[in-house]
Amino acid sequence: MRRAVSLALALFCLAAPPASAADTVNPKADFKAFRDYFTKRFPNVPLNDFVNGPYSMDAELRKQWVEIDAFPPYQFALDKGKQMFDTPFPNGKTYGDCFPNKGIGIRQNYPFFDAKSGEVITLDVALNQCRQANGEEPFDYTKDDMAALTAYMAYTSRGKLFDIKIPNDRRALAAYQKGEEYFYTRRGQLNFSCASCHVQSPGDHIRTEVLAPALGIVAALPIYRSEWGGMGTTSRRLITCNSQVRGVPLKPEDELYRDVEYYLSYMSNGLPISGPGARP
Amino acid sequence: MPALMRLAVVLFATGLATAALAASADGFKAAYAKAEAAENQAGALKNQWTTTEAELKAAKKAADAGNFNDAIKHAQQAEALANASIAQAKEQATAWKNAVVR
């Protein structure tokens, strides 16, 4: 009888489908595969240069960027952001009071998973939380003041290496996986995913655009984009991507946008912050 | 009357009746409601298309101008697009995993 039960159990185990690698969440394994994919595909691109997006892919475009960067188009936003950051709220407190190290040189630690709320908190969300805690109205998440503030905070963090943590908390892992799913899911009438451009086709052209690699793609944000004629945040970038493939964008800093930023930032761990950036 | 001719008359009359119905405000309302329901379903899946939204808008604009033929065409196009976006979302619910770098 015991032998029969053992046999039945063995047969059941053999017949049961094995758990697919895609069904288990393993950020460390994902990170290694992601890093290997880009470094093997672009062996001549120094690892830290991936943060320069399209300029790491195209020598001619890089020359133009070097010229442009002598008088960077994000400079006005940077100056405004510093002034805003240093100006106290009416209650006397400052943005710096809301952050570790007074908000200087901390961009590389965002986004993070907040165990209290169970959600991913981006730098942009943390800034608006700071404003509201000090009796101020939140800023629009896509450009202008928010882009100026995050530009300044990124600038003070230039060269610091992304250090995104995914705690052993099922909610954090779920957020990470939702971000990964969003990144790889095709959407819009053109049936593109984020990965269609930034994993499968970096260095290729879409019309006049040179596609940036996904590795390090968040390091330069916020960016001055010539196409926009102004500064834009991560949310603005994602909204533009969605619209370009004829998908209705989510709301700025939607939970899914924050999750995809969490995923991409974790994939950028060890790469230097280069923001604010300038892009065509 | 030969059977074939009778059939042609019946089909012609049916066509006229359908056209009359299709071009009415009620026909538009029915077509728009179907399109809107499909688009709401796509919204629940967080996968609406801008082109669907544009067709819905065009349908309303045509209806407001009293051009129900065009309004119905736009609503039907919106419904088709919304259904395609729903199919895409359902297919991608699992297909995304195949694209992940491993």
Contact: A187, B88; criterion CB under 8 Å: yes
Residues with Cβ within 8 Å of B36's Cβ and at least 6 positions away in sequence, in order, are B56
Superfamily of segment(s) A27-280: Cytochrome c-like domain (1.10.760.10)
| Distance, CA of A39 to chain centre | 19
Q: What is the pLDDT of residue B96?
A: 98
Write down the pLDDT at residue B95. 98
Query: Is A197 assigned a catalytic role?
Result: no
Give the residue numbers in A contacting B (CB under 8 Å), as ranges. 20-23, 30, 33-34, 37, 180-181, 184-189, 191, 193, 195, 199-200, 243, 246-248, 250, 256
> What pLDDT does residue A190 have?
98
- What is the pLDDT at residue A9? 44
Which stretches does DSSP call E strand in B1-102?
Answer: none
What pLDDT, on a 0 to 100 scale, did the predictor assign at position B6?
A: 61
Q: What is the pLDDT of residue B5?
A: 58
Q: What is the pLDDT of residue B8?
A: 52
Cα–Cα distance measured from residue A274 to residue A254, given in angstroms and rounded to the nearest whole number = 24
Query: Cα(B53)–Cα(A56) distance, rounded to whole angstroms?
Result: 37
**pLDDT on residue A24:** 82
Amino acid sitting at position B9: V
Residue boundaries of the structural domains of chain A:
27-280
* Low-confidence residues of chain A: pLDDT under 50: 1, 5, 7-22
Q: What does chain A come to in residues?
A: 280
Q: How many CB atoms lie within 10 A of CB A172?
A: 22
Q: What is the pLDDT of residues A185-229, one digit of tens each?
A: 999 999 999 999 999 999 999 988 999 999 999 999 999 999 999
Residue A161 pairs with which residues in a beta bridge? A272
pLDDT at B14 > cutoff 50: no
| Count of residues making up chain B | 102
Residue A147 burial (C-beta neighbours within 10 Å; 0-12, 13-18, 19+): buried
Q: What are the tokens at A223?
A: 């960016």
> Where does the pLDDT of residue B9 fall: very low under 50, low under 70, confident under 90, or very high at 90 and above?
low
Distance between CA atoms of residues B46 and B31, nearest Å: 23
- Give the model's pLDDT for residue A23: 59
Residue type at position A63: K
CA-CA-CA-CA torsion sign (B62, B64, B67, B68): positive
Binary contact (A22, B100; C-beta < 8 A): yes
